[in-house]
Amino acid sequence: MLPGLRLALSWLTVLPVRVGSVDRAVGRTAIAVAPVVGLLLGGVAAGLLVLFDLMGMPGLLAGILTVAVLAVGTRGLHLDGLADTADGLGCYGPPERASTVMRDGGVGPFGVVTLVLTLGAQAAALGALTDRWFAVVLAVAVGRATFSLCCRHGVTAARPDGLGALVAGTQSVAVPVLWLGGLFLTSVLVDPDEDAWVGPVAVLLAVGLVLALVQHTRRRFGGITGDVLGAASELATTVVLVTCTLG
């Protein structure tokens, strides 16, 4: 468990965590415990929003700064994956062409538009959730919990190398069920008094859209990649944040 947690912290944060040898078994554990890192990052983001609110900072500015801190705290890894996945899905040609586009290193028009819309939606939603701090923790944790959904048994890697090859198909269905089921049950805490439905609906929407994304990338790319994991995380986080602003 400990090597996997260290790897998850090293992969998903800027914390200088020392990691030993990395194999498929350690990668499997890292994916399984990734929501723990999500809870940590979500707690930091929620704390910042509360602090900014106490300072009297405008909501949108607070949201923008919080998004910036999350991007720095994760090295922008998931955002990079989101942009590459958008470019890969947006290009024409066979899976090999999409793979080349995703590994190119640059950001194309589909990636740019997707990043702008995603970051804008996240910042605006965070700015509107200064009084619903649990929604922020929930959103970031759900984003990381979707890793196990993407890597469940039966899901193959799009190529024989990279993060996707290391972790694809490593998770039993019980892992995402336990994590996402637990987050679903606790999501009523987003607004337990008036709009208790908001949190559960947000989690369900995020899960449904990530499943659709994985299914589409399996058809388009032949499987998942590390970029797809990043895209799934950002998609789920954004959906939960936006949905939690309703009600």
Q: What is the mean pLDDT of residues 90-106?
A: 76
> Identity (one letter) of the amino acid at 228?
V
- Per residue in 10-26, pLDDT (tens digit) is 999 999 998 888 899 99
Q: What is the pLDDT of residue 134?
A: 96
- Tell me which of 93 and 222 has the higher pLDDT: 222
Sequence-separated (6 or more) residues with CB below 8 Å from residue 165: 157, 159
Task: Delimit the domains of the chain by residue range.
Answer: 2-244
Q: What is the pLDDT of residue 7?
A: 93
Residue 224: beta bridge partners?
Answer: 157
Q: Are 50 and 133 in contact (CB under 8 A)?
A: yes
Secondary structure class of 224 (helix, strand, coil): strand
Put simply, whether the predicted model's pTM sits higher than 0.85 gets the answer yes
Q: What is the pLDDT of residue 195?
A: 86
Please give the C-alpha separations between residue 199 and each of 139, 176, 208, in angstroms, as whole numbers. 9, 18, 14
Q: Are 81 and 162 in contact (CB under 8 A)?
A: no
**The 3-state secondary structure of 4-54, one letter per residue:** HHHHHHHHHCCCCCCCCCCCHHHHHHHHHCHHHHHHHHHHHHHHHHHHHHH
- DSSP letter at 188? G
Asked if pLDDT for residue 247 goes beyond 80, the answer is no
Q: Are 45 and 66 in contact (CB under 8 A)?
A: yes
Please give the C-alpha separations between residue 5 and each of 36, 144, 150, in angstroms, as whole numbers. 9, 13, 19
